[in-house]
Amino acid sequence: MSALSFDIKLIVGLGNPGTKYAETRHNAGFWFVDALADQYREHFRPEKKFHGEIARINAEGNDIWLLKPDTFMNRSGLAVVSLALFYKIAPANILVAHDEIDLNAGIARLKSGGGHGGHNGLRDIVSHLGTKDFQRLRIGVDHPGSKHLVVDYVLKRPDAQDRQAIDKAIDDALRVMPKVVTGEWEKAMHQLHTR
C-alpha cells in the first residue's frame, strides 16, 4: 500500500466526558463520531476495557469501530491503544477526529501523520502508540487570538454562529467518509479541501 492508500478500521473522536464539557469546542471530535454513528443508526455503549464508549458501523462494506475515550482529553491514548491492540488495528488504519484551533470554524481538513500541534489528546495518542503515523480529521474551531487564552477558549461553548459553522464542517467531513474508509484518501482530501 502507498502512504496515501489505507482503509480505516477505527475512528476515534476526541473530547472530554460529562455534561459539563459536552457542548465545548474541545468536544468537536465527539460531535463528529456521534454524527457518524447517527448516520448509520448505531449507538454508543460503555466498554470499560477500552476506557470509553464504542459503536460499530458498517460503511461501504467495511466494519469500523467508533470510539469516544472517557479518560479525559490528556489521557486519550490509553483508550486508543487498548482497542487498537485488542483488535490488532495498525496506527495507519486509525482516524482521529479532533478540534483544531489553527483552522477557522466551518473548515475540516484531513491529514496523514504529523505532530500534535500542542493538542493534548493527540500528544497522548502519539505517546501511547509510539508513532505519529495515524490519520487525522481536523475540525476547525477558530483561535482565540492569543496562546494564553487557548485553554479557557476550547473549554467554552461556541456561540451560535460558530456552532453552526462547526456543524457544517462536520457535515462536509461526513460526506467524504465513504472515500476515507475505503482507502481513497487523496480523493477524499481533494473533495473536502476544495469545498
68-119 pLDDT, tens digit each: 999 999 999 999 999 999 999 999 999 999 999 999 999 999 998 888 877 8
DSSP secondary structure string for all residues of 20-81: TTTTSGGGHHHHHHHHHHHHTT---EEEGGGTEEEEEEEETTEEEEEEEESS-GGGHHHHHH
Among 26, 51, 98, 119, the one annotated catalytic = 26
Amino acid at 87: Y
**pTM of the predicted model as reported, rounded to 2 decimal places:** 0.94
What whole-number distance in Å separates Cα of residue 99 and Cα of residue 59? 23
pLDDT (0 to 100) of residue 5? 58
| Residue closest to 47 by CA, chosen among 90, 86, 14 | 86
Contact predicate 52/69, CB 8 Å = yes
pLDDT (0 to 100) of residue 3? 46
1-47 pLDDT, tens digit each: 344 557 899 999 999 999 999 999 999 999 999 999 999 999 999 99
What whole-number distance in Å separates Cα of residue 53 and Cα of residue 67? 6
**Residue ranges of the domains in the chain?**
10-176+187-193
What whole-number distance in Å separates Cα of residue 112 and Cα of residue 159? 30
Fold of the CATH domain 10-176+187-193: Rossmann fold (3.40.50)
For this structure, is 148 an active site residue? no
140-183 pLDDT, tens digit each: 999 888 888 888 898 999 999 999 999 999 999 999 999 998 88
